[in-house]
C-alpha cells in the first residue's frame, strides 16, 4: 500500500526539525486546513445552494462582496480568534486590522489573508482561492499592533494558498520547501500529493491581462514582445499565453509548468498607478512560495520580499515566476521606463514618510 501522508502527519514531522517548537505553528496550520475544508464545502455547493449573488455590502476597495467572500472571511476569522495562537489578523475584506477579542488570549503569530481571491469568477465556476501570510509578533505588549501587520515579506514565517478548483489543494511553505496537499473529499483529509514543488527550469506560459496592452508602458510592451518571440532580434522564448483572471489559479498553474505571471502598473486609472494586486495579502505570500520553489518575484524594481509595506491595502505591480523571466522584465523596465521608475520610487517614499509621521 502506498504511504499516505495526511497534512497532520506532515506538519508533525516538520515540527520535529524544531526541538523548541511549542506546537502553536503546527496547530495554526491545522486550523487553516480546517477553514479550507469548510470553504471548500461551500464553494463546491455554490451552484446548488442559494449562495450566489451579492451580499449587498461593499468591501474596502468599493467592490461589491459576494456571499462566498463573506462566508470565507468570517470562517477564517472565527476559526482563529479564540485559539490563543494569534495576536492580530488582517483580511483583504476589512479596512482595519482584526483584533483578537479581549476575552480571548493572544499568541505569538500574526495572520494576513485574502479570504476568497478571484471572486468575480464565482458565478462562472472558475477556480478561486484563499491566500495567507504568517508573521511572528514583533510588538511589545500582549495584543498585536499595526507594526506586526506591516512587516516586509522576507520576515514571513510561512505562507500559502488554497485553490478551489477541479480539486481543492492547499499549498504552503514554512521555509523548508513548498508542499502541496489535495483534499480527498471522501475522507475529508488533505493528503500530501505534491511534496517539494520546484518551478520547472523550462517555462511554458506567460500570464497577463493582454486586454490592457494599450495602457502598458514601453518596457512592458517590449518585454511581452520578447516573451512571445516577436522582439526585433527574435531571441525570446516564445511562450504560450494562459490567463484565467484568478490569481491563485494562474499562479498555481505557472508554479507547476514554469512561466511568468504579471500584473503591471498601467495608465488606465491615474488614481491607481501601482497596479491592482495587494502587497500584504497577495504578492508577499505568493512571492515567498515562488522563491521557496526556486522562482522569484518583483514589483519590477525591487524584490517583493524586500518591500516595507506602508499601508495594509497597498497595491503594487507584480511579476512572479521563473527567476530569469522576472529578472528580464526588471531589465526592460530599467531600460525603457526610467521616468516611471523615478516617479514610482518618489511616490513610494512619500507614502512611507506619510505613514511614519501618522
Ligand atoms: P479580487 O481580490 O477582487 O478578487 O481581485 C483580484 C483578482 C486576481 O485574482 C486576478 O489576478 C486579478 O484580479 C484579475 O484582474 P483583471 O480582471 O483586471 O485582469
Ligand atoms: Mg484578492
Q: Is residue 184 domain-shared with residue 265, that is, in the same domain?
A: no
Q: Which of 312, 251, 250 lies closest to 280, judged by CA?
A: 312
173: domain CATH number is: 3.30.540.10
Taking the C-alpha atoms of residue 104 and residue 137, their distance in angstroms, rounded to an integer, is: 17
Q: Is residue 98 part of a domain?
A: yes
Q: Specify whether the CB–CB gap between 144 and 87 falls below 8 A.
A: yes
Residue nearest to atom 3 of ligand 1 (CA): 118
Q: Domain ends where: 134, 163, 194?
A: 194
Residues listed for the chain: 358
Which ligand has the shortest distance to the CA of 119?
1
- The CA 93 to ligand 2 mean position distance, Å, reads 9
What confidence score (pLDDT) does residue 67 get? 84
What confidence score (pLDDT) does residue 150 get? 98
What confidence score (pLDDT) does residue 70 get? 92
Q: What is the pTM of this model?
A: 0.94
**Alpha helix positions (H), the chain:** 7-15, 24-44, 67-80, 146-149, 218-227, 247-257, 284-292, 323-336, 338-357
Q: Specify whether the CB–CB gap between 52 and 111 falls below 8 A.
A: no
- Cβ neighbours of residue 209 closer than 8 Å, sequence gap 6 or more: 243, 245, 263
Q: Domain ends where: 154, 174, 194?
A: 194
In this structure, what C-alpha cell is assigned to residue 257?
509548468
Q: Domain ends where: 194, 228, 262?
A: 194
What confidence score (pLDDT) does residue 358 get? 58
What confidence score (pLDDT) does residue 325 get? 98
User: Tens place of pLDDT for every residue, the chain, 358 residues?
Assistant: 678 999 999 999 999 998 888 999 999 999 999 999 999 999 887 766 554 555 555 666 666 555 899 999 999 999 999 999 999 999 999 999 999 999 999 999 999 999 999 988 888 999 999 999 999 999 999 999 999 999 999 999 999 999 999 999 999 999 999 999 999 999 999 999 999 999 999 999 999 999 999 999 999 999 999 999 999 999 999 999 999 999 999 999 999 999 999 999 998 887 667 899 999 999 999 999 999 999 999 999 999 999 999 999 999 999 999 999 999 999 999 999 999 999 999 988 888 888 877 5
Q: Are strands 86-91 and 109-117 parallel, antiparallel or unpaired?
A: parallel
What confidence score (pLDDT) does residue 19 get? 86
66 DSSP β-pair partners: 54
Strand, helix or coil at 349? helix
Residue nearest to atom 14 of ligand 1 (CA): 245
Taking the C-alpha atoms of residue 296 and residue 289, their distance in angstroms, rounded to an integer, is: 9
Q: Is residue 116 part of a domain?
A: yes
Q: Which of 163, 154, 151 lies closest to 116, judged by CA?
A: 163
Q: Is residue 280 part of a domain?
A: yes
Q: Is residue 200 part of a domain?
A: no
Nearest 5°: the CA angle 8, 286, 200 is 90
Q: Is residue 177 domain-shared with residue 266, that is, in the same domain?
A: no
What confidence score (pLDDT) does residue 348 get? 87
Which residue is associated with the grid cell 518575484? Answer: 297
Q: Is residue 109 domain-shared with residue 183, that is, in the same domain?
A: yes
Q: Is residue 221 domain-shared with residue 179, that is, in the same domain?
A: no
Q: How far is CA 74 from CA 109, 281, 358, in A?
A: 19, 16, 30
Which of 234-249 are b and which e, b meaning 16 or more Cβ less than 10 Å from the residue's Cβ?
eebbebeebbbebbbb
Total domains in the chain come to 2
Residue nearest to atom 11 of ligand 1 (CA): 247
Pocket of ligand 1 contains residue 275 by CB under 6 Å: no
Structural domain span for residue 82: 7-194
Pocket of ligand 1 contains residue 119 by CB under 6 Å: yes
- The CA 118 to ligand 1 mean position distance, Å, reads 5
Amino acid at each position: 500500500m502506498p504511504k499516505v501522508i495526511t497534512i497532520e502527519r506532515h506538519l508533525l514531522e516538520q515540527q520535529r526539525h524544531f526541538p523548541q517548537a511549542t506546537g502553536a505553528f503546527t496547530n495554526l496550520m491545522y486550523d487553516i486546513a480546517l477553514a479550507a475544508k469548510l470553504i471548500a464545502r461551500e464553494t463546491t455547493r455554490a451552484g446548488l445552494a442559494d449562495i450566489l449573488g451579492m451580499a449587498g455590502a461593499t468591501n474596502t476597495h468599493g467592490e461589491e462582496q459576494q456571499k462566498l467572500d463573506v462566508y470565507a472571511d468570517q470562517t477564517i476569522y472565527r476559526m482563529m480568534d479564540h485559539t490563543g495562537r494569534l495576536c492580530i489578523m488582517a483580511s483583504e475584506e476589512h479596512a482595519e486590522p482584526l483584533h483578537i477579542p479581549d476575552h480571548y488570549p493572544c499568541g505569538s503569530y500574526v495572520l494576513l489573508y485574502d479570504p476568497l481571491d478571484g471572486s468575480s469568477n464565482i458565478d462562472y465556476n472558475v477556480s478561486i482561492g484563499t491566500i495567507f501570510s504568517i508573521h511572528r509578533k514583533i510588538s511589545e505588549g500582549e495584543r498585536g499592533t499595526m507594526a506586526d501587520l506591516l512587516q516586509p515579506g522576507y520576515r514571513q514565517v510561512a505562507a500559502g494558498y488554497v485553490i478551489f478548483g477541479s480539486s481543492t489543494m492547499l499549498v504552503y511553505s514554512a521555509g523548508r520547501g513548498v508542499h502541496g496537499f489535495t483534499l480527498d473529499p471522501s475522507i475529508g483529509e488533505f493528503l500530501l500529493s505534491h511534496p517539494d514543488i520546484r518551478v520547472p527550469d523550462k517555462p511554458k506560459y506567460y500570464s497577463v491581462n493582454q486586454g490592457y496592452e494599450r495602457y502598458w508602458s514601453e518596457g512592458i510592451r517590449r518585454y511581452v514582445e520578447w516573451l512571445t518571440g516577436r522582439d526585433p532580434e527574435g531571441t525570446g522564448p516564445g511562450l504560450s499565453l494562459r490567463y484565467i483572471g484568478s490569481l491563485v489559479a494562474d499562479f498555481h498553474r505557472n508554479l507547476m509548468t514554469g512561466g511568468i505571471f504579471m500584473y503591471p502598473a498601467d495608465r488606465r486609472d491615474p488614481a491607481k498607478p501601482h497596479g491592482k494586486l495587494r502587497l500584504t495579502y497577495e504578492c508577499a505570500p505568493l512571492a515567498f512560495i515562488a522563491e521557496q520553489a526556486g522562482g522569484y518575484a518583483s514589483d519590477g524594481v525591487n524584490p517583493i520580499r524586500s518591500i516595507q509595506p506602508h499601508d495594509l491595502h497597498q497595491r503594487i505591480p507584480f511579476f512572479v515566476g521563473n527567476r530569469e523571466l522576472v529578472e528580464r522584465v526588471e531589465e526592460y523596465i530599467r531600460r525603457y521606463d526610467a521616468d516611471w521608475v523615478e516617479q514610482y520610487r518618489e511616490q513610494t517614499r512619500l507614502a512611507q514618510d506619510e505613514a511614519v509621521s501618522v
